[in-house]
Structure 1
């Protein structure tokens, strides 16, 4: 690169030609100077890009946890009323294309027609697969957003931008995750510290181990009532499974009235 800059600045000496009065005139060919100048700019830009990339943290890659390690309770992330008659549990991987399809195509209807109406609750459980090199980092990004109350917003953006940070595209996904975190107005100092320290690694591993206990082997896998369903679901199929589980769910206890209410210390005609 240094040689290119020298050449561009110096040009290339042409052959001397005879001028008037018998004096020699040194004529320099500068026609290729712009060409070398452009090469120099490109070379500098390439070096800058390489330096920038080297400053970005590489993906954590696949993380393995000692199977004998004691982990925290597997809890996942809950949307809706936990006491809803049916719970939809999804074991998912943020880098899984089928999980992305469910999140972007089915979840909007699920939230509006099942969760917001109180018919069901939804629990997202981390299940990072070893075939996806960047997925653990995506789960870190989401867990650290959850620390600031923005898990579902990060969840949505991670699935919507899969093609920007998946392992086939980059081995430095944090740049994309950071932009998402900034767009969500997160405290970036707190988020970066959480992300870089892998603060919630064991919590994610606990959710993953719960999936193993339930014989999960692929994503997405859903647990609805006593049924385990593998593969992305469209809304109609999801609703069918929810209705089936609701039909089997125990009826809620009756509201105390009359003598029953009085026996419990509740004035007749009133309930707690």
Structure 2
């Protein structure tokens, strides 16, 4: 009899422990309620826009490339440029991706010269080129891209060599971990988490539901 009671109690304990593990494993991104836009460096649009979109992206992510080439230009044209959306860019290089981290730093150097969006899109278009290059050759690739966009190449090269934008990238990575963001592209739309590529037609609905018309 005692053995039966002990077995029943043990079984209940195992079930409860499994349930607790399941609930902990099912935590949603940003369970702590942190502001995904707080402290952002690369921001476009009006500060009082009714909708804020925060994007976590990776320059070797194919779905991020689809977003940059297909959805992003229309979001900027119809929402950011019209004052309806404030758009925040954040980088999420993964472990063992020093090339992506350097690409993100280069894009932040382009931001200093007002060319971030153009450079952001160019990095995706050319990612098969620089993505396969040795790490030591990347500064020349990124400098060439800056020149193609009409930037001051010397100023760009000094920015990249100084690594002054590395803290921006590191801060984005740390925030992604804090918000439980593990993949790209990932978005927060007025705090609502959205994962993966979405066609522009779906973005229209998402932005409307968030409060922009």
Aligned partner of 2:209 among 216, 227, 244 = 244
**Residue 31 of structure 2: aligned partner:** none
Q: Which has the larger radius of gyration?
A: 1
Equivalent of 1:226, from 187, 191, 195?
Answer: 191
Q: Give the distance between the partners of 1:199 and 1:153, measured in 2 at CA.
A: 21
- Contact 1:74–1:203 under 8 Å retained in 2: no
Report the structure, 1 or 2, having the larger helix content. 2
**Paired residues for 1:47-196 under 5 Å:** 74-166=39-131, 169-171=132-134, 172-196=137-161
Q: Distance in 2 between matches of 1:187 and 1:115?
A: 26
In 2: Cα distance, 1:127 partner to 1:74 partner: 16
- Return the TM-score normalized by structure 2: 0.75
Which runs of 5 or more residues in structure 2 are unaligned? 1-37
Per-residue CA deviation, residues 200-232 of structure 1 (Å, 9 max, x unaligned), is: 111211122122221110111000023111111
**SS of equivalent residue, structure 2 residue 211:** helix
Which of the numbers 145, 154, 174 marks the counterpart of 1:209?
Answer: 174
Q: 1:131 deviation in Å?
A: 4.9
Instruction: Measure, in 2, the Cα distance between the counterparts of 1:200 and 1:236.
Output: 34
Distance, in Å, in 1 between the alignment partners of 2:168 and 2:98 is 19
Partner SS for 2:194: strand
Aligned partner of residue 124 in structure 1, secondary structure: strand
Structure 1 CA distance, aligned partners of 2:129 and 2:203? 29
Question: Which residue does 1:50 correspond to in 2?
Answer: none
Give the drift of 1:143.
1.2
Q: Which has the higher contact order (CA 8 A, sep 6+)?
A: 2
Give TM-score scaled by structure 1 length: 0.60
CA contact (8 A) 2:42 2:89 kept: yes
Cα pair 1:88 1:222 within 8 Å, conserved: yes
CA contact (8 A) 2:139 2:160 kept: no
Q: CA RMSD in A?
A: 1.7
Moved more, 125-134 or 204-213: 125-134
Report deviation, 1:119.
2.1
Aligned-partner Cα distance in 2 for 1:174–1:81 = 33
| Separation in 1, partners of 2:198, 2:96 | 22
